[in-house]
Chains A and B, each alone.
Chain A
């Protein structure tokens, strides 16, 4: 027999969980909170309850891994006919595990020295790289981009990462644990959403483009905070930290993940910088007049750098030479 009183508690419990609330649920909760200011305060307190958990006891990690391996080695195959084959597999696995133990310990110690900082890196010249974070968030990293987080970044009260470069995020929905992306000039806060962030140290603007969901962007310098909607893009100026929002065509800003290089009235100086990063090749513009020559067009990275340079040449009218794997535009 359900007491009438319990119904509101069901909804309160729902609001403290990751469950989706119906419109009626939300309304009932709002009414309950409106009714009495004490109710609202109670809800705030309940919402503020976060449990503290022990450290992962990293000292135990190696020990338990060894314990696990020793248990794995003691698996004895029972069928006669497959015994020979299984033993061979077991031995070769054992050998590689032994090698791994020593190498693994080295890696483990190396990570420790960095204060348990983990980073995923896509080097200049590398193809876009997909990475999955501990909370199942998918990140696609562009060339010359680094995603960093530490042991504590994914503690279960928040999710924090740091980005240098460009990445597209598909963040797992979790309203209890906001996902924060730290870029040097500001921060992007999301609840569950798809967005693209571009923050290269040698570019003036840091841009966040929203594909789906909702994000909040803040500037470290001016302390401004803006919330943007899908198809909007927020930029933070590296010079003075000012925040601005514009409507954009989102596809233009995420094409890179499929290997497309899109230039929209882009000055040659910026184009070459992008190509340098993408192909890990040095490109120097020797004629200063060409720096601001504008070009509009789209290429796929598979076309190859030289092809791209020669096509742009037709429009921007320059000459180029290649010496020791370096490009010179004259």
Chain B
């Protein structure tokens, strides 16, 4: 079996009822979908439900798949929609952790800024981000971690770009204040 991934032709084939294409799509998008779902839900059982719902509704709507421009955005929107439909009590956003400065195996360049982040400061920043209001934190993660543009975040969460920007400012100011505070007290 030729294992060449071309998202457009994959979606085209799914829209033509091709189950093999669906399986390949599943294998391919599962890691990012799992990650996206974890931003919304901390309970792993709830995550399983949401993930299968997302794929299920994708299959159900397979006729319209060819029009999808950005798969990552689509997955985000689908997760958000499905999460909203479920019982609100289940929604508790996943606590984030900040990565220790470790080098990827293949990289030969070292990031100098990583040396400034010691363990204690890392924990403090983690606490700060985890304590941000839910939507503010989600926006920060989507922009910072998923690398999404403000416009995409706005579209996915059905809010305005100005709101996205405002929330980013809130998040970054809070983290900045905490960092400055820590550094001046050391």
Q: Counting CB contacts under 8 A, is A50 at the interface?
A: yes
Given A38-B183, A52-B99, decide whether A46 and B176 contact each other with a Cβ distance below 8 A. yes
Is B20 a contact partner of A63 (Cβ separation < 8 A)? no
Q: Known: A13-B168, A17-B149, A156-B147. Is A131-B175 also a contact (CB below 8 A)?
A: no
How far, in Å, is A200 (CB) from chain B's closest CB?
20
Contact across chains for A9 and B104 when beta carbons are under 8 A apart: no
- Chain B residues lying within 8 Å of A97, measured Cβ to Cβ, are 19, 23
Cα A46 to Cα B32 in complex, Å, equals 24
B52, B141, B145: the one within 8 Å of A68 (CB): B52
Contact pick for A50, options B20, B34, B59, B99, CB 8 Å:
B99
Q: How far is the CA of A180 from the CA of B173 in the complex (A)?
A: 32
Do A48 and B114 contact each other (CB < 8 Å), given the known contacts A9-B173, A19-B150, A42-B176? yes
Check if A96 sits within 8 Å of B106, measured CB to CB. Answer: no
> For B100, what are the chain A residues with a Cβ–Cβ distance below 8 Å?
52
Interface of A is mostly: mixed
Residues from chain B with a CB closer than 8 A to the CB of A52 are: 96-100
Chain A: residues with Cβ within 8 Å of the partner, total of 68
Q: How far is the CA of A156 from the CA of B125 in the complex (A)?
A: 19
Contact across chains for A17 and B144 when beta carbons are under 8 A apart: yes
Question: Quick one: which of B26, B117, B121, B175 contacts A65, CB cutoff 8 A?
Answer: B26
- With the chains together, A136 CA to B73 CA distance in Å? 13
**Considering the complex, which residues of chain B in the window 123-164 have a beta carbon less than 8 Å from any beta carbon of chain A?**
125, 141, 143-150
Contact between A132 and B179, CB atoms less than 8 A apart? no
Stretch from A54-62, A250-258, A294-302, A316-324 forming part of the interface with B? A54-62
**Chain B residues whose C-beta falls within 8 Å of the C-beta of A269 in the assembled complex:** none
* Chain A residues, Cβ within 8 Å of B51: 64, 68
Question: What 1/0 mask marks residues of chain A from 99 to 121 whose CB sits below 8 Å from any chain B CB?
Answer: 01000100010000000001010
Give the one of A45, A136, A156 with max B CB within 10 A.
A45
Partner of B48, one of A42, A60, A133, A157: A60
- Check if A12 is an interface residue, CB within 8 A of chain B: yes
With known contacts A96-B20, A131-B6, A177–B147 Cβ distance under 8 A: yes
Mask: chain B, 99-129; 1 = CB below 8 Å from A; 0 = not: 1110010111101111011000100010000
Asked whether any CB of chain A lies closer than 8 Å to the CB of B88, the reply is no
Expressed in whole angstroms, the Cα–Cα distance for A309 and B14 within the complex equals 44
Whether a CB of chain A sits under 8 angstroms from the CB of B40 is no
CB interface residues, B 29-46, toward A, < 8 Å: 30-32, 34-35, 38, 44
The answer to whether B98 and A51 have CB atoms under 8 Å apart is yes
Q: Write out the residue numbers on chain A whose beta carbons fall within 8 Å of the beta carbon of B97.
A: 51-52
B68 beta carbon closer than 8 Å to chain A: no
- B4, A71: Cβ atoms closer than 8 Å: no
Residues B35 and A72 in contact, CB atoms below 8 Å apart: no
**B165 adjacent to chain A (CB < 8 Å):** yes
Which B residues are in CB contact (< 8 Å) with A162? Answer: 106
New contact pairs (13) apart from A19-B150, A45-B117, CB-CB < 8 Å: A9-B169, A9-B172, A12-B172, A47-B113, A56-B30, A60-B44, A61-B30, A68-B51, A71-B52, A129-B4, A156-B145, A162-B106, A218-B108
- Contact sample, A vs B, 18 pairs, CB 8 Å cutoff: A9-B169, A42-B180, A46-B175, A49-B117, A49-B125, A52-B99, A53-B38, A54-B35, A63-B48, A68-B51, A68-B56, A72-B59, A100-B19, A100-B20, A108-B27, A156-B147, A160-B104, A177-B147
